Amino acid sequence: MSKNTHLVIYTIVFICLFILFFLEIRNSPSEEIKNENRQPKIETKNQELVKARNILIQNKNDTSSSLKIAFVNSDTVSKYYLYAQKVQSNLIAKRASAENQIKNKYKSYEDLVKEFEKASPIMGEREKIEKAQNIRLLEQEILKVEQELSSELANEEVKMTQQYVKKTDEFMQKIGESIGYDYVLSYRIGGPMLFANPKLDITSEIISLLNENYQINN
């Protein structure tokens, strides 16, 4: 064989070895993938909370898609989250207080009207005009107080709702990042999400973690 022939054969062998080496490296799992499969260590004293965290991690790792997605039922969270219950209790108390104030005003108004009707036959014309004017002023005052309390209550509801949403969103952000989710969606009756695989539902686990966080900080 000539030197040129030997050179060609060596070149072909070298190329084949290089291709095999490249394919071996490509098919071997990278350190990044290995690290991704490791479960983050989250310490807690409560076994139920440990279970909740483990389920979140398992759901994240079991997703076949490259995106890690889960969803939370917002209606259920607002029902069982302790902070949400506190917000609802405060709103109910404020609403009851406003209703009592208006009720007391109406009681005074009704008493004044009854008194006027009873004493009207023996009143002078000037006294009748004064009493009737007092009744109209009280009626205007009641309407004003009713509007003010209604507006105040509406503003308070907006404020408390915003605080609740902010508090929940911030916590969900931390949970999503610490566990490794790409998206945590919100589901509610009548909302835009029409269907979701129940396997992706992490509502119970999130409620457990939310309540744990609330009890620690309150």
* pLDDT the model gives residue 30: 46
Burial 73-90 (b: 16+ CB within 10 A, else e): bbebbbeebebbeebeee
pTM for the whole thing?
0.60
Q: Which amino acid is at 16?
A: C
* pLDDT the model gives residue 148: 92
* pLDDT the model gives residue 190: 84
- Distance separating the N- and C-terminal Cα atoms of the chain: 88
| Residue 68: closest CA among 179, 200, 183 | 183
Question: Which residues are within 8 A (CB) of 44 and not within 5 positions of it... i.e. 6 or more apart?
Answer: 50, 53, 212
Q: What residues in the chain have per-residue pLDDT under 70? A: 1-65
